[in-house]
Every structure is written in C-alpha cells, then in structure tokens.
Copies of this chain bind each other. A is one copy, B any other.
Amino acid sequence: MDMAADIASDHFISRRVDIGRITLNVREKGSGPLMLFFHGITSNSAVFEPLMIRLSDRFTTIAVDQRGHGLSDKPETGYEANDYADDIAGLIRTLARGHAILVGHSLGARNSVTAAAKYPDLVRSVVAIDFTPYIETEALDALEARVNAGSQLFEDIKAVEAYLAGRYPNIPADAIRIRAESGYQPVDGGLRPLASSAAMAQTARGLRSDLVPAYRDVTKPVLIVRGESSKLVSAAALAKTSRLRPDLPVVVVPGADHYVNEVSPEITLKAITNFIDA
C-alpha cells in the first residue's frame, strides 16, 4: 500500500499558533501522547501526513512548518540551530500538553536533537532521521547548492512536480505531489516556493554548525535513522556518531537515500513504533 496515496480521505486541522516569539503554522491529527514532526530544509509539514495518519490513532500528531518555511512567519534573520530549537521549546510550552516525542528529518532532526539537549524537561525522546554530526563539507556544499537553486518561478504545478521529481529521484510520485501541492504559492506568472529564499540560504549555512555538543550532551533517548544510500549522512559520519554515543540505537534503512520517511515510509513507521513502544 502506498502510504502517501490515502491522504485525500483524511482530515488535518491546520492552524497558526502564536508562541510569543513567532507564529508557526501546524497541522494536527489524532489524540494521545504528543508527537511533533519537523521537516527538512525548504520542505513543510505536509510531507509527514502519511506517517501522521498511521500514528494518529495513538498519538496527538502535530507537524510544524518551521520558521522561514511553509505558512509560518519568516523573520529576516535567526536561522541558527538555537533559533529553531527555541521555537520547538516555545511550541511545546504553548501547546501545554506535556513533553513531546520529536520526529525530525534532516534540518528537523538537527533541530530536534538540539532542542532535546537544551530542554530535556520538554522532550520525551527524539527520532532523528538522516542528520548527524560529522557530515562531510562536500555533502553540505551540495545541499546548499540544491537549496539555493530551488528558489525559482514555475509555470504551473506540473512544472513543480517535474522539477521535484528530478531533484528527488527516489521519492515516489504521491509524495512528490504532496510537496508540490503544499510547498508553493501562486505569484504573478506562476508558482514560487512558500519557503523564503533568504531564510533558506541562512538555514543552509547554519547546517554547518557543530552538532557534536548537542549529540554528546543530550540525555533523552534518540533513535538515529540513516538512509543506507544517503548522500548527506555517510556511513563514516554515522560510525563517528555511534562512537560518540554508542548507547544510542541506530536504524539503517536499506534502499533509502536522504529522504527516508518519504522513500521508505513503512520501515520508518515501524522504526518509530519499535522505538516508542518498547
């Protein structure tokens, strides 16, 4: 069953939440312990809907458009790890539903581990998908180039989908459609990404900051998930991360590249529930 295909039949509550320091757009579904989802750079909360549908029978699932992305506020500056992590803390406090399980992909994983290390009382545990310390410079260079190239005008949704399919060759068509339908806004002459290009450029630079302290100091459980053929997190970067924290469990998803939760949603879902249900 293609997890992304059954989105249409389900209802998500989207709203903007003022957490004081910023207003963030969120999508919510389900009830139970609080599970928050944080997307990768340039993306938005919609990419997690397929997982949220499957988890919302047992969890309050809330996916967040992080600052500078989607329908959230886009301040001029403030796109470092701490800025994103402080937003997470502010949101958890504003929601006032107890500590949260944080599921983050890429940028979202970096931000979730940073928040867990900084605010242990607000975080129950973290599923950190495909972002670790020790990422090689070349990988970050390539990511930065892709990010900056994405900020362009597209004629229509078909053109967006074609571009995204080229940029993410392993992401299935349904998940590409989610990205296309949720991540772009009508402008004169066509469609442009919702994400602010200035914010994305700052964020991409910020991804180079040293993540070792956060991984070294985090006291909450963190599940480290890597796509076996990820071009961002190399096997060497993962091995060094495990040497830094041999007590943290690891899942390596065969056949998945950097976009693990979109390329292999079933294994990602099982990895999350194996971790949370233990």
Contact = CB atoms under 8 A, between A and B. Distances in A.
Interface of A: 101, 124-125, 220-223, 242-243, 246-254, 267, 270-271, 273-278
Contact of A278 (B250, B254, B270, B275): B275
Contacts of A248: 251, 274
Nearest to A273: B221
A233 to B, nearest CB: 16
A247 B271 CA distance: 5
Contacts of A253: 246
A277 B249 CA distance: 12
Contact of A275 (B101, B220, B221, B267): B221
Nearest to A248: B274
B242 A252 contact: yes
B274 A247 contact: yes
A278 B242 contact: no
Contacts of A277: 125, 220-221
Contacts of A271: 246-247, 249
A247 to B, nearest CB: 4
Contacts of A270: 247
Nearest to A224: B249
A267 B252 contact: no
A249 B274 contact: yes
Nearest to A225: B249
Contacts of A221: 273-275, 277-278
A128 to B, nearest CB: 12
A124 B246 contact: no
A254 B243 contact: yes
A251 B247 contact: yes
A242 B220 CA distance: 24
Nearest to A268: B247
A27 B198 CA distance: 62
A220 B270 CA distance: 10
A221 B221 CA distance: 15
